[in-house]
Amino acid sequence: MLIHPAPLAETAEALRSGDLDLHDYIDDLCDRMEAVESQVQAFLPEPDRRRRLHDAADDLLADYPDPDDRPLLFGIPAGVKDIFHADGFVTYAGSTVPPERFAGEQAAVVDGLLAEGGLLAGKTVTTEFAFFEPGPTRNPHNLAHTPGGSSSGSAAAVAAGLCPLAIGTQTIGSVIRPAAFCGIVGFKPSYDRIATPGTVYFSRTIDTVGLFTQDVAGMNLAAAALCDEWEEVELSEDDIPVIGVADGPYLRQASPDALA
């Protein structure tokens, strides 16, 4: 099992305040990647990732020297599914098609991430064209199992603690399915709550940008930063809902482990 904690809300608060040094944090994440990424294979290979992130961190610290002015996602490295265009990165869409066929302007969601102080941890693996053949990514809970798709790398990266936030897309189940398979929180907002331009579409009318974090508090922060007209919710133990599970033939056939 290669699960590792990477709480978004706590980390973002510590980076904004300066209690957590951004360069130290980047080194910790890159060390984690070097230790487990060859097994999980959540990201597209990038030989100079550490150097690139440190350079981006220098620019970010120069832009926001005062902690009180720092945006919500200051210093947070996010994995970005390889169907989004991002300046300085090649888009393959999980395929062997010549990448120049996919060239385009930087995705709106990447612009939003950077505007909120986020960093690009890198491109995450997607199934081919976000639908067809699976990529090499493995489930961090069990490397013999699938992480789900099509946002395979985004879900696996967050579950393995390689980044506290990742971005994916969903046409049918490509956010909520890999999130469930990898044991993390996946959120598919309503259509166009996160703008889609700059995406290699599978279905232009249905594709929705979605998010991955390890917990609900982190997702609340991510949605506040990246979703249009989102009002962040104050979470407390008093607000925890009661969730009912309907009975039926499928549940009666479930194993004790599944029901635990």
The residues annotated as belonging to the active site are 81, 150, 174
Residue 35 near residue 77, CB atoms below 8 Å: no
Q: How far is CA 106 from CA 29, 73, 78, 144, in A?
A: 25, 19, 15, 35
208-213 and 165-170 beta bridge pairing:
antiparallel
d(CA 82, CA 102): 11
**158, 213 contact by CB (below 8 A):** yes
Report the alpha-carbon distance of residue 79 to residue 89 in Å, rounded: 12
The residues pairing with 84 across neighbouring beta strands, listed in sequence order, are: 199
> How many Å apart are CA 188 and CA 208, to the nearest integer?
7
Whether the CB-CB separation of 149 and 133 falls below 8 Å is answered with no
CA distance 178 to 115: 27
Calculated CA dihedral for residues 60, 20, 118, 66, nearest 10 degrees: -40
In degrees rounded to 5, what are phi and psi of residue 75?
80, 0
Cis peptide leading into residue 152 (ω within 30°): no
